Amino acid sequence: MIHARRPFLLVSIGLMLASLSLALSVYSASQTLDPHLWWQAAVTPDLHSIAQLTLRYSLVPRIIAAILVGAGLALAGVLMQLTLRNPAAEPATLGVAAGAFLALSVATLWAPSFIGASRTGVAFAGGVVAGLLVFGLAWRSHFAAQVLLLAGLMTSLYAGAVNTLLIMLYGGLIKLFIWGSGSLAMQDWGIVLYLLPRLLPACALSVLLSRPIAVLAISDEAAASLGVSPGMIRLAGLSLAVWIASVCVAGVGVIGFIGLAAPEIVRRCGYQRVHEQLLAAPVFGALLLWSTDQVFQLLPTASEIPAGAATAFLGAPLLLWLVARREEMRPIVATRIATPSHHVRAQGRLLAAILGVAVTAACLSLLVGRGLYGWTFGGLSSPEATLFWRGPRMISAAAAAILMSIAGCIVQRLASNPLASPELLGVSSGAALGVIAALLIPGTGVAASVSLSMAGAGAVLLLLLLLGHRKAFAPHDLFMVGIALTTWVSAAVSLLLASGDPRMFDLLRWLNGSTFLARPADAIILSSCAALAAGLLPLFSRWLTLLPLGPATPTALGMTLTRSRGLLLAFACVLVGLSVLMIGPLSFVGLMAPHTARMLGFRRPMMEMAASSAIGAALMILADWLGRILLFPNQLPAGLIATLIAAPYLFLLMARRS
């Protein structure tokens, strides 16, 4: 869709943002120091005046850093979007920023001398590794837009899971985690002096790349016909973008969505030429981050809101708007899920073997453990004590995994995409927001927490149904909604961790699937829900068999696609909302278990559901057991262990798919 050039609109938006940013900056400065002393504070500050020193070494450097980082991130975003022809690409959505920050965390713990020598090099190495992983996963799909986004999201989530594990193992790293949420707080001019010599040459190089990228933006064939290697142009543009993003992450932490919003504003105003985007997008990126930072500084909060969280709160609605407005984004490359199945008897024996593995895992979890006197191999002091202490958490983890696995099968058949996942729909993130709200409301009990969790999942479900009804439940649009909601949850967690509230560490554990405090009542409720869900599955058997065949066959057989897809989506969302209360929103069980079942040859819906449920239960039981014994007496969340186990396997599966 080509938009008419609207220079007046572009200039108006720019002037509005500039005026807002300048007015808020002047207001903040006037609250710190009288205006007639500003010049003295800027040139020769009184060393005995805290207000003058604050203006000179905090407020002014903060504004300049926001302008530099905003411009840099917008430039990195537009370079990625142009070279990949993907309007939603940017360092945050493609996992580059998360990889750079993980590298900084690892180096801070085990190689601090590298940070002192070259933190830019450390961040760049992490960004390159993450970028190579994402681009490698999307290579066989020819960098299809949604495959890139899915790979980028998985890379970001995995890097985030590793960071969370490091925080739990080394509590002092939580300060680095808070800083990594995007901090523009300044105490001197060091960050500005760090950014300037690294970002300005990158801007000059981007100007030199404008003509080759303009040819590449047409097509690879056009670039090759002019004697230019498309691969080399793409490599140069992406390398420059990763460098810019790494510099920004090393300077101020992870700040997302600036690289998405600024280029989109420029394109929406009709500026489609490469050199126009390369020049205008950094200007708007600088103004966006400057104004956003100033607005959120005015909010009456107990602690400073990280700039990365602020931009995420504003950027997630932008992503939802892009989903609603954009028509030309290509869908995820789907692999049809075959429905015919042979060798039913062999599948029965294989299913029995999988159930045997799950039972063995349950026995291992109940009987083998670590205590004050070392390993124990016969349970606790008595069978009653073993069942009371270890039984509820094991049964809760298994039942929640069954619910998530069934939901995963439904979603993957609904989308005709074996790489789909209920975690990526955002329903689990909606449930997590409900639990966060329950934590912040004084006097909230368990029943209220469950209600708010289900309300959060229901709100996301309503959003998905509204969007899906408008676009016939296009799978790639639903995944984009999930990305936006997951980002919102991450931003909310960053804000809460920055608050210093001691309850937030428990929240971090729960978000990663903590089964520590599972009670017998939890086990009974979840296992009853799992049994009820399994009993309802035969009602959906016909739909689950026909939908993967494409829209033509179900329609010819009298199925109403919108109604059947909507009901299946609602059922899956309810299951996810229940399971997320125990194993957290991002365990990847709903993605790994169904895929593994199909890899083992299960194709018929009911057999696939049974096999994936057994696989998911075995995985979560083992994850719960490992989380209990690995660092005894400390415990790790089962959902986090499951993510660390499942994600590498999922990367391998993506690499094998075109």
pLDDT tens, residue by residue, 616-638: 999 999 998 998 888 787 788 88
Distance CA 386, CA 15 (A): 68
CB atoms within 10 A of CB 116: 9
Please state which CATH class domain 65-321 belongs to.
mainly alpha
Distance CA 360, CA 348 (A): 18
Are residues 277 and 271 in contact, defined by beta-carbon separation less than 8 angstroms?
A: yes
pLDDT digits (tens, 9 = 90+) for 524-566: 988 999 999 999 888 888 888 877 776 677 777 777 777 787 7
Q: Tokens 């602690």 — which residue?
A: 303
Distance CA 604, CA 348 (A): 12
- Of 598, 613, 619, 587, nearest to 164 by C-alpha is 587
**Structure tokens given for 452:** 């708010």
Are residues 589 and 401 in contact, defined by beta-carbon separation less than 8 angstroms?
A: yes
Q: What pLDDT does residue 124 have?
A: 94
**Structure tokens given for 25:** 């900056």
Distance CA 26, CA 31 (A): 9
Rounded alpha-carbon distances, angstroms, from residue 222 to 83, 212, 216, 219, 228: 14, 11, 7, 5, 9
pLDDT digits (tens, 9 = 90+) for 358-393: 999 999 988 988 877 778 888 787 888 888 888 898
Virtual torsion, Cα 643, 424, 314, 101, nearest 10 deg: 30
Please state which of the ranges 272-286, 474-488, 622-636 shows the lowest mean pLDDT: 474-488
All CATH 1.10.3470.10 domain ranges of the chain, comma separated, are: 65-321, 344-656
Are residues 322 and 87 in contact, defined by beta-carbon separation less than 8 angstroms?
A: yes
Q: What are phi and psi of 305, to 5 degrees?
A: -80, 125
CB atoms within 10 A of CB 210: 16
Q: Which CATH number fits domain 344-656: 1.10.3470.10, 3.40.50.20, 3.40.50.1820, 2.30.110.10?
A: 1.10.3470.10
**Structure tokens given for 539:** 């009602």
Decide which of 633 and 499 is more confident: 633
Axis-axis angle for helices 589-599, 391-415 (nearest 10): 70
Distance CA 595, CA 154 (A): 16
Distance CA 627, CA 614 (A): 20
